[in-house]
Amino acid sequence: MLNKDFLKKFKRKIILLFAPRLVWAFLWILYLSCKNKFYIHEDIKKSNAILAFWHGEFLMLPFLYKKMRNVPKIFVISSEHFDGELMVKLYGYYGFKTIRGSSTRGGRRVLIQAFQQLKEGYDIAITPDGPKGPYHSIADGIIAMSKKTGIGIVPVRTLPNNFFELKTWDKFKIPKPFSTIKYISMPSFHIDENLNIEDAKKLVYKQMTADPKMIFHNLD
């Protein structure tokens, strides 16, 4: 009789083999069915950046990044959980690289790797509220990255006008087919090295929740 651990590992191998490719195909079909509008601030062309996005909005973000950069040069920070492994496979289809870990597991190692890749000119993508929340919270990692390297933070958003919202901690959004999706890359901002951690978190939250209409006057 097969033990539970063997069955669990076998099931995960099957999922890893098929699920990321199926999700990739689904996302392309969804993207092509939707009306996609891109609003990308010129700041992103000046240098590499720390891309900050909410955990519940990551599904369609690869399409925004492909508009931001002609050639992908990015590391996405992904958790060491099984869902993070699925994301690694999925991101690979877009040409993205990954750093495995989070603020709670391998945090110091993740930061060291992120510092190195930022210095080498890569973008780093991070969810300040991931991998487990709370919803729209700000963890310390993104602040340490900006302070240590002096590289700007760029908030990125995907805002569908019609979507399914899962009953998960991150209120994960799946755009409905034929909806309109606004892809937004905001101006960059920096965190002064003398700013205390709580004020820095408030700054990051303020910038990530800023109204895009204040920047993009043609946003409809």
pTM for this entry:
0.90
- HSE-CB at 162 with a 13 A cutoff on CA atoms is 10
Q: Tokens representing 51?
A: 């891309």
Yes or no: say if 190 and 153 are a contact pair by the CB < 8 Å rule.
yes
Range of the domain at 146: 4-214
- The residue-averaged pLDDT of 144-148 equals 93
Yes or no: say if 152 and 185 are a contact pair by the CB < 8 Å rule.
no
**For the chain, how many structural domains are there in total?**
1
In a domain, 220, yes or no: no
Calculate helix-pair angle for 61-68, 4-33, nearest 10 degrees: 60
Judged against a pLDDT cut of 90, whether residue 209 lies above it is answered with yes
Could you report the per-residue pLDDT of 113-139, keeping only the tens digit for each? Answer: 999 999 999 999 999 997 888 999 999
- The residue-averaged pLDDT of 51-55 equals 96
Could you report the per-residue pLDDT of 150-165, keeping only the tens digit for each? Answer: 999 999 999 999 999 9
Helix (H) / strand (E) element for 38: namely strand 35-40
- The residue-averaged pLDDT of 131-150 equals 92
Q: What pLDDT, on the 0 to 100 scale, is given for residue 18? A: 84
Residues 6+ positions from 127 with CB-CB distance below 8 Å: 52, 53, 54, 55, 58, 77
